[in-house]
Structure 1
Amino acid sequence: MALKSNKRGSLLVIVAPLLTAGLMAALWSLDFVRELENVTLDHRFRARAASDPPPHPRIALLGIGDASLRAEGRWEEWSREIHAVFTERLTHRPPKVLAFDFFFSEESRVAPEGDVRFADALAAHLAPITGMNIALNDAGIDSAPPPQEYYLGGKTLPLPRVRGDLDALLGGNTANLPIPRIAESAFTGVVNCPASRIDNMRREIPLVARLGDRVYPSFVLQILIQLEETTPDAVDVVLGEAITLPKKDGGRWIIPIDRRGFMAINYRDTDRFVMSDYILVSELLDAVGAGDAWPAGLPPLTDQIVIVGQAAEGLQDLGPTPYHSLDPLFRVQATALDNILRSDYLRRVPMAPLLGGWLLLAWLTLLPLRRAPVVLEIAIPALVTAAYVGLAFSLFRSHSLSLPLVLPVAGFLLLHTGVIVDRLLAELREKRYIKGVFRSYVSPDVVHQILESGETPKLGGERVEITVLFSDIQGFSTFSEQLAPESLVELMVEYLSEMTDIVIDQGGTLDKYIGDAIDVMFGAPLPLADHAARAVYSAIMMQRKQVELREKWQALGKSELVRGMRTRIGLNSGPAVVGNMGSQRRFNYTMMGDNVNLGARCESGAKAYGVYTMITGDTYEATRAVRDDITYRFLDRIVVKGRTLPVEVYEVIEQTSRIAHATLECIDLYAAATELYLQRDWDGAGRAFTRSAALEPLQPGPDIATNPSLVMADRCRAFQLDPPGDDWNGVHIMSEK
């Protein structure tokens, strides 16, 4: 838009970012915002998967997959003898930690003796671990304390050194606890890992959880405690900061957690973990002696962290991860453990510094764009946003640093969109003001031009090359006489709308309506190199639309007069004066000149030849220079009333591909007859025109008076009776406008 918008005050540039930043701060802690942000994290996880490092070498995963189920039957029917046998076989390849991601919360109904054997086998290991699941109510926490028997007993002790709001912890008052025999033989860790309410994805894991008024370690934290051979009283938990526990080598683990005791999972491609089949490994342990080499391709077990979990798709312990729609969930536990062992934590940028940087960037982009074109106001924020997103992906890949995307991007785009809308509204207000000022003494068309150009209107025009198109309904006075005013108005609205749409779509400029007549120019105010071709094609489309309208009106049962409506069109190309013309008080953007008048004469002159689209030689030549898919017929060389110089005129037939064979034959016969006519062979030409008349697509009838062949045949007969003088040059003098 050429009209400059009003200057926006500095107040808007300063206050708008502050208000947007305040809104972002208010939304920052909302759950749905965090969930949306996590979805963007999933994309970043997948984008860096190819460069993910291998998992920690001490983690070995054994999955109960399809092969295990085929070997031992349905999971529900498994005896704990199977786990006992596996655990016993590990004695000659003892892992540092043996962790089962199962509850073992009920006595075995299949083989109760298996519980005893399994418990004894677990007790023989240094650090066996099983799982427990805390039952959460709708609120996440029960208010009443549990009965004493629900507290976990056996080897597992609560964490005594926990600082923070315990009510914020994931917790409940009941749990699926291991049966006492197993609880006395193995440590227990909480396996709860809540999924997102939006997509069921697990993106964070609790490292501590509350059962009643006691806090217990998670499955992952229990593995770490046993790996370092420490005790719960050596674990220091500060909610909202970190979990700290000693290493055997004298160092300390410092694990970041939020106020709820959750650690964000820094997902690496879960397929990195080599997961071996549980039963296969159990059988190999039996087959491969203690002194024999362990098979290549299988993870070592000695002094490792061995985690056993469900992996078959038919089992329940599967869920989505950023990499798979169904992933064994014990690989999620393994991923969290891998994050800790490699200190590969997901780090998030705090809100305060991010909002500070966001505000600075917002002001730096708003200030220089205040007077920039709208396209730059759109492009620059889009480029800055793309750069920020690219930076977020890059930092995530290289440093596991999570730059928030949802609120910063949404806020930035919202801010700039609001400023752009404010600018556009200001321009709209200015447009309305100008319309209100000028409407009383200039035409609406000129007001529109003022708004587009930003210039003060003045009288005058310029000489430009254009093609003019004039159209008129044949016998319109009859329509006015026979149709009721309301019906006539309805008919003309439909007709003029259809025809105007065609010329506008082709780049024409509507000059004016005069009753049923339409005056159009092509090539002004915007220059068009192919203005003639556009005008000719518009005429073709208008005649096609006229046929469609006649068919429609016939189907609607309109009168014979309406069904027979036909439109005559005249075109001419050449220089003309176009611009604002009229009086000092009121003027229109219009066209003037001899070539304009000639175009109008072509429209009226078409009637004399019985054609409905007639163009001058200049339009014919200009159109053929840019497109060759239209067929024309040379009609005559004429001198229109009011002019002295002759002009060639042509009929526009149609696009060549749409013309019937008989019509093409008629055109050829007509051209041959014209040659005889110009040679003054009146008799031969008359006979030839008579033959072409039989093939004319338009034959005399109720709404067709004549056609070119009949007109020329009559003229040949007249010349036979009264030949023209020797100075005749083939030019026909038109006696009517």
Structure 2
Amino acid sequence: MPPAPSPASRPARRHRSDTDSSRRVAPDVAEPGRAPPKRDAGAGKAHVTNLAKSLGNALRRYRRTSIWASGVLSALFVILAAFSPLSPVDRLNAMVFDGYQALKPRPLAGSPITVIDIDDASIGELGQWPWPRTVLARIIGNMTEMGAAAIGLDMLLAEPDRTSPVLALQELRRQGFQIVEPDQGAVLDNDAYLADVFALSPVVAGLALAETTRTPPPDPKAGFGFGGTSPVDYLPGYLGSVRNLPALDAAAPGIGLINFPPARDGVVRQIPLVARFDTRLYPALSMELLRMAQGASTYVIRSTGAHGEQDTGLPGMIAIKNGHYEVPTGPDATMWVYFSGQPVANIVPAASLASESVDPALEDVIAGHIVLIGTSAIGLRDLVSTPLASGVPGVLVHAEIIDQILGGSFLSRPDWAVGAEVALAIVLTLLVLAFLPSLPALANALVATAAIAIAVVTGWLAFAWYNLLLSPILPAQSSLLAYGIASGVRLLVSESERRYIRSAFSHYLAPSMVEKLMDNPQSLVLGGENKELTLLFADIRGFTTLSEKLGANELTEFLNNYLTPMTDVLMERGATIDKYMGDGIMAFWNAPLDVPDHRRKACESVLAMQAALVRFNSEHGTDIGVGVGLNSGICCVGNLGSRQRFDYSAIGDPVNVAARIEGMTKQYGLSNLISGSTAEGMDDFALLEVDRVKLVGRAEPTPVFTLLGHRDVKESATFQALKARHDRFLAHYRALDFDATEAALDAFDADSPPELAKLYKIMRGRLAVLRADPPPPGWDGTFTAREK
């Protein structure tokens, strides 16, 4: 909105009379002596209102559009970036899932699991690792005699035993020694001896598939059946393996994978239950131990496309059945490990089983148990990090997996989880953006906090109630970034609004009012709105004569000197300066900001303007008079004009009435006239009813009053006496009691206040006209104005 020109920028009129056609009071007010322009007032008002609304709504549309566009684009960026390989979302998700487990660890299933620990104490007793294979064979043999259900080796025996006697004999022979071998029964080949023990025991040998070697693995010991798509078609394959000595692998009844690839941050969260080399499938050590303990021979894999399963077009594993246990998996055959954070197995030092005589009490933790042989020795470096702890022996992770499967407590991140997180991100982002344009900053911060809380609570409840892994990271990131970016845009738009408001209203609103608008731009209805206003028109009396005596520069300086204090008076009392019309002022109250007591403010302004005029005349040596008219009513107020230029203004019949009332001040010789709609309820002011006037162009009469002072004047005995006499005078006049009316006027001639002297003189002239030409019967005292 262009700012209203200052008084100095308005062209001054040097010649004016009451019939000067250049004087513009209101758009549809005709000049005296001319008929009002013929136009459809209702259609015109509707056209201007629609135009104003279209212009005024532009700022709000821009505000909403800017906020929504920035928020949606930022959320879209977060969502798309989450699928980038460089995105930290996956790592953050993993940290969240770790937190879930820390808050709600898996309850122990109480499974019969025992870990034979090659600990530092055992190494100290039996010597450095690796021990002779005969020691390992003795440990396995003792557990087999005790009735172990299955024995798993979390280790690889890839090199021959350097302590084996057969190697020493071979070296001696190579050097030319004659060697006499002992009688049959002596153990010469430790590896062959261990292989014989493997063959007689429920042993699962370890195997590691790898990408860095081309050594083929041994044949798997168990068979695989499947329903749906073959796992060979969709599981990623390895190029080679790190395996045990062939004799050991051949003798072991089972072979299981001991390596579980950690995540990028080194934390073990998922393990593959099945892996592929070429066309062969290999189970994890934990799965193979469970198979051995149950005496099963085959795994059954259920894939997409199996009977009863939906074929999504993306082949993947759904579950794997191991004897009596079915384990749900991800499409790549991985299982989320749900850690308990508690001891899941009995721990037995390896040295306690390495002697010929073993403590019989150990049978309680060996017989019928799944036994794992591994190490917790720091020097052997088989330590991993889990969501609950770091430096955990790898063998205990295998124990956790077995206990989890036996307890049937599984974590699931279904294939729809990412879609659900994206959907929640969209919903929460829209929730934040829906409130952001209209709520204050603190409330919006609370809404954003609530959105993040919803994401967090949703993820937590999905885990706590259903063991589902749903992450709040993407929804929280999306809603938070949308809030941050959109809030920044809102701040920029708000600052733009403040500059707009300051530019648009600083010339015709008081600074305090402008500050209120800038603090709360929503209080400004930019466009046309129907609103009750109190309108003021003010004009200098005798300006034409004065302007003829002054040059252009002097006249401009005079007008600026006059309009400045008048404008100050109005703005100090909450008025909006609509426009300057040469020496005239149009102002109104109750828009753009609400002014609940706008009638009172307007009346106070009239009296203050009269006081300011006295000071002006005294300071500048002038003797000008000012006529002020007030009226109140429903007007269309807002940005009115063309698409190229518009002003914040008011139109409507009350505007025209206010302008005509101001013009009537000349006919009554008064400094101010206010309509009955403005005078209503103004009990704190000294008001006198002047007349009932049928204004030009109006069918209904308008009561007009003159304002003489504040409450102190009203409560004075002088005013009370004057009002009583004045009211009797009007009663006589309207009753056509000519003699009583004339007597009242005679009395006023003697002691009436100076500001009313001209009024009573005019009324005496009107009385003479009525005596000569009495009005028709039923006359109610209404005066019909012939001029504006």
TM-score under structure 1 length normalisation = 0.53
Matched, 1:203 2:269: yes
TM-aligned CA distance change 1:227 to 1:236, over 3 Å: farther
Give the Cα–Cα distance (whole angstroms) in 1 for the partners of residues 72 and 408 of structure 2: 37
SS in 2 for 1:42: helix
Deviation string 1:192-238 (CA, Å, 9 cap, x unpaired) is 211122x2111110111122342211212222322332224655566
Task: Trace 1:338-357 onto structure 2 (pairs within 5 A).
Answer: 338-348=403-413, 350-357=417-424
User: Are 1:174 and 1:212, in contact at CA under 8 Å, matched by a contact in 2?
Assistant: no
TM-aligned CA distance change 1:89 to 1:237, over 3 Å: farther
Matched, 1:322 2:387: yes
Letter in 2 for 1:57: S
* Residue of 37, 50, 64 corresponding to 2:93: 37
TM-aligned CA distance change 1:409 to 1:453, over 3 Å: closer
SS in 2 for 1:43: helix
Task: Trace 1:290-301 onto structure 2 (pairs within 5 A).
Answer: 293-294=361-362, 300-301=365-366
User: Are 1:100 and 1:129, in contact at CA under 8 Å, matched by a contact in 2?
Assistant: yes
**TM superposition shift of 1:59:** 1.9
Letter in 2 for 1:337: I
**TM superposition shift of 1:305:** 0.8
Deviation string 1:654-683 (CA, Å, 9 cap, x unpaired) is xxxxxxxxxxxxxxxxxxxxxxxxxxxxxx
Task: Trace 1:597-608 onto structure 2 (pairs within 5 A).
Answer: none
SS in 1 for 2:378: coil
Letter in 1 for 2:407: R
Give the Cα–Cα distance (whole angstroms) in 2 for the partners of residues 356 and 450 of structure 1: 39
**TM superposition shift of 1:306:** 0.6
TM-score under structure 2 length normalisation = 0.49
SS in 2 for 1:287: coil
* Residue of 132, 147, 150 corresponding to 1:94: 147
**TM superposition shift of 1:45:** 1.5
Matched, 1:226 2:292: yes
User: Are 1:156 and 1:183, in contact at CA under 8 Å, matched by a contact in 2?
Assistant: no
Matched, 1:117 2:117: no
Matched, 1:243 2:319: yes
**TM superposition shift of 1:453:** 6.6
User: Are 1:28 and 1:407, in contact at CA under 8 Å, matched by a contact in 2?
Assistant: no
Matched, 1:302 2:367: yes
SS in 1 for 2:365: coil
Percent of residue pairs identical: 23
* Residue of 453, 465, 478 corresponding to 1:386: 453
SS in 2 for 1:347: coil
Matched, 1:128 2:189: no
SS in 1 for 2:340: coil
Task: Trace 1:212-291 onto structure 2 (pairs within 5 A).
Answer: 212-232=278-298, 234-235=300-301, 240-245=316-321, 247=323, 251=324, 253-282=325-354, 286-289=357-360
TM-aligned CA distance change 1:269 to 1:397, over 3 Å: farther
Give the Cα–Cα distance (whole angstroms) in 1 for the partners of residues 398 and 132 of structure 2: 25
> 1 or 2 for the larger relative contact order (CA 8 Å, sep ≥6)?
2
Q: Which residue of 2 aligns with 1:519?
A: none
SS in 1 for 2:357: helix
Matched, 1:85 2:138: yes
SS in 2 for 1:192: coil
User: Are 1:169 and 1:210, in contact at CA under 8 Å, matched by a contact in 2?
Assistant: yes
SS in 1 for 2:380: coil
Q: Which residue of 2 aligns with 1:103?
A: 156
Letter in 2 for 1:417: G
Give the Cα–Cα distance (whole angstroms) in 2 for the partners of residues 222 and 416 of structure 1: 51
Letter in 2 for 1:380: V
**Worse overlay, 351-360 or 264-273:** 351-360
* Unmatched segments (≥5 aa) in structure 1: 464-582, 585-737
**TM superposition shift of 1:177:** 1.1
Give the Cα–Cα distance (whole angstroms) in 1 for the partners of residues 279 and 193 of structure 2: 33
Q: Decide which structure has the larger Cα Rg and report it.
A: 2
Deviation string 1:13-52 (CA, Å, 9 cap, x unpaired) is 5995598368526625857432221111112222224xx4
Q: Which residue of 2 aligns with 1:20?
A: 75
Give the Cα–Cα distance (whole angstroms) in 2 for the partners of residues 427 and 90 of structure 1: 78
* Unmatched segments (≥5 aa) in structure 2: 1-56, 166-188, 305-314, 525-563, 574-611, 614-788
**TM superposition shift of 1:435:** 4.5
Q: Which residue of 2 aligns with 1:64?
A: 118
Give the Cα–Cα distance (whole angstroms) in 2 for the partners of residues 226 and 212 of structure 1: 24
Give the Cα–Cα distance (whole angstroms) in 1 for the partners of residues 111 and 287 of structure 2: 18
Deviation string 1:550-608 (CA, Å, 9 cap, x unpaired) is xxxxxxxxxxxxxxxxxxxxxxxxxxxxxxxxx99xxxxxxxxxxxxxxxxxxxxxxxx
User: Are 1:14 and 1:363, in contact at CA under 8 Å, matched by a contact in 2?
Assistant: no
User: Are 2:411 and 2:467, in contact at CA under 8 Å, matched by a contact in 1?
Assistant: yes
